[in-house]
Amino acid sequence: MDSKTILVVGAHMDDCEIGAGGLLLQAVRQGHRVVLVNCASDYSTWCVTKGREAEIKEKVLAKAGAMKMEKRLLGYGYQAIPNDLTTIRKISEIVVDVLPDIVLFHSPRENAPSDHAVVGAVTEYAVRAATTVLGGIRAVYGGEMYRYEVYPCFPFDPDTYLDIGDVVEELVEHIDYFGKEIYAASPYAKGCAEVSAKIKLKPDGGNEIPLSHYGEVKLGLSIHRGAQAGCRFAEAYEAVDKKLLGKRILQQIIKG
């Protein structure tokens, strides 16, 4: 299939990777463009990263580059992303700039941390009304949207599953990067960076993967969704526009 553009909007530095990382790694392998947006990227406003702002920004952007993805930083403070027209316009500008075929974002029901719910709400608004809120400009955009999940403890009604068995090992290592390289230096988040388990994902052996907190969360959730989908590891998504079910660009990407 022709190269497509996937836009993923997240509140924090690793939300896109945790919520949709398996899909994104597979999409990059197929030659698609992936653009990530990190809304809360004023790292001076979080105790874990305060005083290391330049270092954190460099590492966050470097990780995106290593994954062959683009990352844009909106510069809002942690727990300070406003649900207002200014935020909607900033996201709309990115939508019109990259003209995505697919947009993924938080569920507005995932309200802890509260930034997740805000980003879910404003992104959907921004995508639906991008050309209007930017002053009636003209742009071509299809509007295929999905919600992803970061924490498996809020109402989520998935209708699309993706087998991520071929990338799960790489994905967990990418997610653990944030714990090991960013959180580990802070006493406020030390527990999230410490290795609490080691596992071999392949039945015939393979590498033993050390897992920190967020890697464990992602792996556990992928096993749960895999059981629902009939495979070992999966990601789940919730289509925003149900009328598109069965004739979606995402389905073409999933099939490769």
pLDDT (tens digit per residue) in 41-99: 999 999 999 999 999 999 999 999 999 999 999 999 999 999 999 999 999 999 999 99
Asked if the model's pLDDT at residue 145 lies above 90, the reply is yes
- Pull the structure tokens for residue 233: 């590891």
Is residue 162 within a helix (H) or strand (E), and if so which, with residue range? strand 160-163
Residue 188 confidence (pLDDT):
79
Bridge partner residues of 234 (DSSP): 163
One-letter amino acid of 130: A
**What per-residue confidence (pLDDT) applies to 146?**
95
The Cα 168–Cα 251 span in angstroms is 19
Query: Confidence class of residue 117 from pLDDT cuts 50, 70 and 90?
Result: very high
Residue 202, Cβ neighbours under 10 Å: how many?
9
Average pLDDT, the chain: 89
More confident residue, 81 or 111: 81
206: pLDDT strictly greater than 70: no
Residue 203: CB atoms within 10 Å: 7
How far apart are alpha carbons 110 and 174 in whole angstroms? 23
| 126 belongs to a structural domain | yes
Question: Is 212 within the bounds of a domain?
Answer: no
- Find the range with the poorest average confidence among 170-174, 203-207, 208-212, 225-229: 203-207
Question: Using CA atoms, how far apart are residues 194 and 98, in angstroms rounded to an integer?
Answer: 37
Number of domains in the chain: 1
Q: Confirm whether 77 is domain-assigned.
A: yes
Q: Is the pLDDT of residue 208 over 80?
A: no
Is residue 176 pLDDT above 70, yes or no? yes
- 210 in any annotated domain: no
| For residue 17, pLDDT beyond 90 | yes
CA separation for the pair 153, 137 (Å, rounded): 40
Work out the burial of residue 39: count CB atoms within 10 Å of its CB; fewer than 13 is exposed, 13-18 middle, 19 or more buried: buried
Establish if 153 belongs to a structural domain: yes
Beta strand segments in the chain, E: 5-10, 33-38, 70-73, 102-106, 144-148, 160-163, 197-202, 205-211, 234-239
Can you give the pLDDT at residue 193? 64
Residue span of the structural domain in which 138 resides? 5-165+233-255
CA dihedral 178, 181, 186, 191 (to 10 degrees): 60
Quick check: is 171 in a domain? no
| 3 state SS of 197 | strand
The CATH number of the domain holding residue 30 is 3.40.50.10320
Q: Is 256 a residue whose pLDDT tops 70?
A: no
More confident residue, 185 or 226: 226
Closest alpha carbon to 139 in 193, 100, 178, 186: 100
Percent residues over pLDDT 70 in the chain: 89
Angle at 43 between CA 56 and CA 182, to 5 degrees: 35
Inside any domain, residue 85: yes
> Does some domain include residue 56?
yes
Hunting for tokens 């909106």 — which residue is that?
74
